[in-house]
Amino acid sequence: MKIRDNYVIKQNQRIAKDVYEMILVGDTSAIQSPGEFVNVYVPGKFLPRPISVAYSDEESLCLAYKVVGEGTEIMSQMVPGEVLTVLTGLGNGFDLDVPSEKPVLIGGGMGVAPLYKLAVELKKRKKEATIITGFRSEEDIIYYEQLNQLFPNFVTLEQAPLKKGVRLVTDILKDLSESDYDYFYACGPKPMLKAVCDIALTDGEVSLESRMACGVGQCKCCSIETNDGMKTLCKDGPVLKKNMVRW
Ligand SMILES: Cc1cc2nc3c(=O)[nH]c(=O)nc-3n(C[C@H](O)[C@H](O)[C@H](O)COP(=O)(O)OP(=O)(O)OC[C@H]3O[C@@H](n4cnc5c(N)ncnc54)[C@H](O)[C@@H]3O)c2cc1C
Ligand code: FES
């Protein structure tokens, strides 16, 4: 089920360098699983902007977005009380039904946003998750307190690329053994996702990104070749099982 509706902005505040968190009030009944995204119809822009659901409950949804271009710049200037049209219930999110008791979550940069909702759902299901997140600098860190509160096994790193001896999220993952985790969920830059898939000792899944337009599998502009044939990332993804991804 998908719902295209008007949502009222309850809050829209800066939470990190160029990153804003927008809370929208409205019908959230189409949002099923963490890792799904919504299409935001930014006023004055023809194509919608796909943004992951960072968190949602019965009456509101929360988006964490980085200002990178005109659309997200317009969003960042909107104020509480204004209305945005949003299409919700998009994409195939993270699989919560896998037989895993202690998954590891690996997030890089803005890829940490959908992991927040995932962590909340895993906590509700009494899973013992380990969370590893990495950011370019201290100014880029998002959801530190929230994730730290949810799981004690939480590591966050700053990975300024020019700093010598810096540890990457994949270095932390390499240090874990098979007794530390039995599945992985990852979201972040593609090179990080590929490295995670190469290193991980278990099965898992990754959330991929691509340019999108319709968001519902019709225009085919987000088609990618997988080990299971051509798939659209907006409908069959953005989350794909590790063994499906052709890097
Ligand atoms: C499934 C999915 C989930 C995403 N979740 C988040 C999130 O939670 N937080 C976040 O900050 N960003 C997220 N992104 C990236 C976000 O969609 C782009 O940063 C945003 O669309 C840029 O819009 P703009 O108008 O500011 O930039 P412009 O570059 O001016 O955009 C021009 C066009 O390109 C598209 N576009 C630009 N960059 C991307 C991109 N990386 N992916 C897809 N389309 C793009 C825009 O939607 C727009 O149609 C996600 C992308 C996808 C595909
Ligand atoms: S965005 Fe149209 S098919 Fe994916």
- pLDDT tens figures, 33-48: 999 999 999 999 999 9
Secondary element (H or E) of residue 59: none
Mean pLDDT, residues 74-78 taken together: 98
Predicted confidence at residue 166, as pLDDT, reads 67
**Residue in the structure block whose two tokens are 């530190």:** 144
> Strand pairing partners for 239?
207
Q: Give the residue whose CA is nearest to atom 44 of ligand 1.
A: 211
- Of ligand 1's listed atoms, the one at least distance from the Cα of 213 is 49
Fold of the domain spanning 3-90 = Elongation Factor Tu (Ef-tu); domain 3 (2.40.30)
Secondary element (H or E) of residue 73: helix 70-76
- CATH 3.40.50.80 describes domain 103-207: yes
Residue 72 CA, ligand 2 centroid: distance in Å: 20
What single-letter amino acid sits at 152? P
CB 87 near ligand 2, within 6 Å: no
- Which one, of 96, 102, 105, 107, lies nearest residue 185 by Cα? 105
CA pair distance 41, 6, nearest whole angstrom: 10
Residue 231 CA, ligand 2 centroid: distance in Å: 10
Mean pLDDT (the chain) is: 94
Residue 49 CA, ligand 1 centroid: distance in Å: 6
Per-domain boundaries in the chain: 3-90, 103-207
Give pLDDT tens digits for 144-201: 999 999 998 888 877 766 566 667 899 999 999 999 999 999 999 999 999 999 999 9
